[in-house]
C-alpha cells in the first residue's frame, strides 16, 4: 500500500529537492516531508560499509523517530583508478563532511597523473525505505562516466562539475535538473523505488 505521507531522511537540502522533484514527477499522491519538519532529529552516524547499509540506517532512524514511513539515500562517486574510492566516503573525502569544493579539489589532485582514458568512474545510489514496524526494502541505481581535469557547470552539487556521464559531452553540472534526473544514479534508484513501493 502506498503511504499518504513520507519523510525524506536527509539534511542535505539539494538532495531533498532532487528526490522530492523526482518523486512528484512520478505522480505519486504522497505528502513528502523533509527532516526540517522535525527539528529534533539528529544526524545519523553512517557506520555501514556499503551505500545500502548506510541508507537503511538513516531510513530506520527517521521512521522510528517520526512514526512515519521514511526514504533515505546514500550515494557517492566510485573512481576506477582509486579502487572504487571515495565511495561511501564521498561526502567527507577531504575530511570535513559536505565540503564539496575541498572534496572535488582533493580528488582531482589524486588523479592528476592518470590519463583521460583511465578515468572511468560511476555514481552509485542506494535508496532505502522503512515503515514503522512494517515493510522495508533497498534499491540501487548507477550512472557511468569519466572524470575530467577541471570543473565545468554551475548546476547540481558534489562531484557533478567534474563528472561527464557516458554518452554526454557535458558534465552533470551542465545538465538541467530535468536532463540529469533522466540519467542520474539517483533518478534510476528512485524509479526502481517507485516501482517497488507501488507493487507492495
User: Looking at the annotation, which residues are catalytic?
Assistant: 74
Give 10's contacts (C-beta < 8 A, 6+ positions apart).
16, 19, 34, 35, 58, 72, 73
C-alpha cell, 3? 503511504
C-alpha cell, 194? 517507485
DSSP letters for 114-130: S-GGG-EEEEEEEEEEE
C-alpha cell, 20? 522530492
Q: What does residue 67 show for φ and ψ, rounded to 5 degrees?
A: 75, 15
List of long-range contacts for 149-155, beta carbons under 8 Å, 24+ apart: 149/108, 149/116, 150/108, 151/104, 155/180
The cell 565511495 sits on which residue?
Answer: 87
Contact, 172 vs 184, CB < 8 A?
A: yes
Contact, 160 vs 107, CB < 8 A?
A: no
Contact, 125 vs 185, CB < 8 A?
A: yes
Amino acid at each position: 500500500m502506498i503511504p499518504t505521507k513520507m519523510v525524506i531522511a536527509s539534511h542535505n537540502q539539494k538532495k531533498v529537492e532532487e528526490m522530492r522533484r523526482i518523486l512528484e514527477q512520478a505522480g505519486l499522491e504522497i505528502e513528502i516531508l523533509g527532516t526540517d519538519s522535525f527539528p529534533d532529529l539528529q544526524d545519523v552516524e553512517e557506520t555501514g560499509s556499503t551505500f545500502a547499509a548506510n541508507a537503511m540506517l538513516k531510513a530506520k532512524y527517521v521512521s522510528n523517530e517520526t512514526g512515519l514511513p521514511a526514504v533515505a539515500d546514500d550515494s557517492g562517486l566510485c573512481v576506477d583508478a582509486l579502487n572504487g574510492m571515495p565511495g561511501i566516503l564521498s561526502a567527507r573525502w577531504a575530511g570535513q563532511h559536505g565540503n564539496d569544493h575541498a572534496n572535488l579539489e582533493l580528488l582531482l589532485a589524486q588523479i592528476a597523473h592518470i590519463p583521460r582514458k583511465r578515468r572511468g568512474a560511476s555514481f552509485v545510489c542506494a535508496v532505502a525505505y522503512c515503515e514503522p514496524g512494517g515493510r522495508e526494502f533497498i534499491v540501487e541505481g548507477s550512472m557511468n562516466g569519466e572524470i575530467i581535469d577541471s570543473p565545468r557547470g554551475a548546476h547540481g552539487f558534489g562531484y557533478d562539475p567534474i563528472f561527464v556521464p557516458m554518452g554526454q559531452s557535458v558534465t552533470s553540472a551542465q545538465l538541467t535538473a530535468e536532463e540529469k534526473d533522466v540519467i542520474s544514479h539517483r533518478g534510476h534508484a528512485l524509479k526502481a523505488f517507485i516501482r517497488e513501493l507501488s507493487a507492495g
